[in-house]
Amino acid sequence: MIVGNGMMAKKFAEYQHNKNVLIFASGVSNSKENRGSEFEREFNLLRKTIELNTKKHFVYFGTSSMYDPMAKHSPYVLHKLKMEQYVVENCDSYNVFRISQVIGRANNPTLVNFIINNIVYDKEFEVWERATRNLIAVDDVYKIVDYLLVNKLHCNEIINVANSDNIAIVDFINIVEKVLNKRARLHIVPKGFPFDKIDISVVKPLLKKIGIDFDDNYYYEKSLSKIIYAEE
């Protein structure tokens, strides 16, 4: 069963008719959100969904933004932590996956889409020189989560699903430029803080067997090409 219709819900479409697992992929997706009404809407949907599906293994997607020094006290992050806690306290069987920023097609304003669109449409934008992010392809999020669910590993745990390394935003933009074969109109300012290192020790032993190589020099290029040039 799947709740939601965004990028993550579509990627996990095979679980739509799974009677034992519920993928909760709905709710607040904009990390800049600060409206209490939006947070309340997700909470009410989460609460009702849990109440109606007490026998299912519940999957909730949290966020790795609590490892961002600039965002960990934001309304969005505090809300997501509250949702995680509710799942932990009210589900007999669950997984909470803290996902880092995803490289994938999405309707909401993700960092990756923001960068791609600004370059494609020749818009000038500001970039913080010292800022870093943790980026992972949506296909790899699926591979990791699906493997853990199918094999019933690390149930009733909160698990980080992220790249093994962070990347400077400026460096990532350079890669996007290469894939698009188009220069970005950047205004680089001496601001920002590095993203904290994310502990992926739980999933790291699985990567090789499910075909994920974060150390591949072309990891970002291949992930970007897949979403930029893939056929609709």
Q: Which of 155, 156, 137, 133 is nearest to 210 (CA)?
A: 137
Question: How many alpha carbons fall within 13 Å on the CB side of residue 17?
Answer: 1
Could you tell me if 43 and 86 are in contact, meaning their C-beta atoms sit under 8 angstroms apart?
A: yes
Is the Cα torsion angle 229, 11, 9, 87 positive or negative in sign? Answer: negative
pLDDT at 108 over 80: no
Q: Mean per-residue pLDDT for 121-136?
A: 95
User: What CA–CA distance (Å, rounded) separates 63 from 161?
Assistant: 9
pTM above 0.75, yes or no: yes
Provide the pLDDT confidence category of residue 37 given band limits of 50, 70 and 90.
Answer: confident
pLDDT in tens, 144-189: 999 999 999 999 999 999 999 999 999 999 999 999 999 999 999 9
The per-residue pLDDT for 231 is 46
Provide the pLDDT confidence category of residue 221 given band limits of 50, 70 and 90.
Answer: very high
The per-residue pLDDT for 43 is 95
Q: Mean per-residue pLDDT for 126-154?
A: 96
pLDDT at 232 over 80: no
**Domains along the sequence of the chain with CATH:** 2-228 (3.40.50.720)
Q: Mean per-residue pLDDT for 108-136?
A: 92
The per-residue pLDDT for 49 is 97
Two structure tokens written together for 128: 């913080």
User: What CA–CA distance (Å, rounded) separates 161 from 120?
Assistant: 29
